[in-house]
Amino acid sequence: MKIFRALAALTATLSCPYFVSAADESDTIEPGHSKVNVLTYNNFDRFIGSHELVLMEFYAPWCGHCQQLAPHYRAAAAELTTMDLPRPVSLAKYDDGDEYNRQLRAGAPDMYNYTSYPSLFIFDKGEHSRYLGGRSAEDIIFWMSTVSKGLDPIEEELKTKPGLYKDDPEFSKHVIDFDDEFSSFTDQIVASGENKLRVVEFYSDRCPFCQSLAKEFVEAAKQLKAKYPSKVEVHAVNTRIFHEVSEDWEITGHPWVCFFYNGEKVEDMAGLGGADSIINWASKKIEDHWEDRNEFHSGKAKVLAEQPLVGEDENEEGSCSTEGPGDGDCGDEGEESEEQKKLRDVILEMEVVLEKAKKLLA
Strands of 127-130's sheet, edge to edge?
A: 37-39, 90-95, 53-59, 119-124, 127-130
> Residue 294: pLDDT band by 50, 70, 90 thresholds?
low
Which carries the bigger pLDDT value, residue 280 or residue 273?
A: 280
Write the DSSP symbol of residue 105: -
Amino acid, res. 316: E
**Residue among 295, 294, 278 at smallest CA distance from 174:** 278
Region of poorest pLDDT, from 124-128, 264-268, 277-281, 338-342: 338-342
Among 26-40, 249-263, 307-321, 332-346, name the most confident range. Answer: 26-40
Please name which of 246, 157, 233 lies closest in space to residue 188, comparing C-alpha atoms. 233
pLDDT-based confidence at 346, cuts 50/70/90? Answer: low
Q: What integer is the mean pLDDT of 235-262? A: 90
169-291 CATH fold: Glutaredoxin (3.40.30)
Please report the DSSP string for 118-169 in residue order.
SEEEEEETTEEEE--S-SSHHHHHHHHHHHHTT--HHHHHHHH---TTTTSH
Q: Which CATH number fits domain 2-160: 2.30.31.10, 1.10.1240.10, 3.40.30.10, 3.40.50.2300?
A: 3.40.30.10
Spatial separation of the C-alpha atoms in residues 254 and 236, rounded to whole Å: 11
Helix H or strand E encompassing 113: none
Residue 201 to residue 199: CA distance in whole angstroms: 7
Higher-confidence residue: 94 or 166?
94
> Does an H or E element contain 257, and which?
strand 256-261
pLDDT digits (tens, 9 = 90+) for 11-33: 444 444 333 344 488 999 999 99
Q: Which of 126, 121, 145, 147 shows the shortest CA–CA distance to 57?
A: 121
Q: For 125-161, how does the pLDDT look when each residue is reduced to its tens digit (9 = 90+)?
A: 999 999 999 899 999 999 999 999 999 998 898 888 8
User: Quick one: the chain helix, strand, coil %, rounded to 5?
Assistant: 40, 15, 40
DSSP state of 180: T
Residues of the chain with CATH 3.40.30.10: 2-160, 169-291
Work out the number of other CB atoms within 10 angstroms of the CB of residue 25.
14
Tens digit of each residue's pLDDT (9 = 90 or more) over 302-325: 444 444 444 444 333 333 333 344
Contact 39, 50 (CB under 8 A): no
Quote the pLDDT of residue 8. 45
Report the relative pairing of strands 53-59 and 90-95 from DSSP bridges. parallel
User: In the prediction, which pLDDT does 198 show?
Assistant: 92
58 phi, psi to nearest 5 deg: -95, 125
* pLDDT value, residue 316: 37
Residue pLDDT, tens place only, 108-130: 999 999 999 999 999 999 999 99
* Other Cβ atoms within 10 Å of 215 Cβ, number: 15
Q: What is the pLDDT of residue 131?
A: 96
